[in-house]
Amino acid sequence: MKKIILLTILSVLTLSLTAQEKKKDKNAKVTFEVDGICGMCKKRIETAALKTNGVKFALWNVKTHQLNLIMDERKTDVLTVQKNINKVGHDIILEHGKKMESTLDAYNSVHPCCKYRDGKIILNHEGELKKVKKTKN
């Protein structure tokens, strides 16, 4: 009788542990922040994400720096996507202000207008964004 009770308890524990494992989603929606500054950065970031096996959709917002992804968690994970973005020269902004920085060689490979770590270039881009187009009357 003790063996039956013991086996029953072990079966229940095994089932509960199995049920707690997170099922990998084939259309997981993921968002994280990527440092960049312009349209060329947007193209580079999105392309690096999309070249990662399992990423189905990538959209980076120039103003908010948010990268929205739809990915198959059975084929890839967030860290792999982030590493691929680092390889093309862009830093990942993690929680609490920490960064997953790209190497200096990768950062130096981006176009001169894309040097998002340079304060002067950031100010130049902000000035461009504030310009108002003149309309013909």
- Return the CATH number at 100: 3.30.70.100
Q: At what angle do helices 39-50 and 78-87 cross, to 10 degrees?
A: 130
SS3 74: coil
Percent of the chain past pLDDT 90, that is, above it, reads 64
d(CA 4, CA 29): 44
Residue 39 has pLDDT above 50, yes or no: yes
Q: 93 falls in which pLDDT band (50, 70, 90)?
A: very high
What pLDDT does residue 1 have?
72
* Number of domains present in the structure of the chain: 1
d(CA 67, CA 89): 15
Judge whether 10 lies within some domain.
no
- How large is the average pLDDT for residues 3-10? 70
- How large is the average pLDDT for residues 85-114? 94
What pLDDT does residue 119 have?
86
SS3 100: strand
Q: Which two tokens stand for residue 50?
A: 């999309």
> How many residues belong to the chain?
137
Partners of 59 in the β-ladder:
68
Q: In terms of residue numbers, what domain contains 117?
A: 28-130
Judge whether 12 lies within some domain.
no
Judge whether 23 lies within some domain.
no
- How large is the average pLDDT for residues 68-96? 96
A 10 A CB-CB count for 114 gives 21
A 10 A CB-CB count for 85 gives 29
Partners of 100 in the β-ladder:
92
Residue 14 has pLDDT above 90, yes or no: no
What pLDDT does residue 95 have?
86
Partners of 125 in the β-ladder:
none
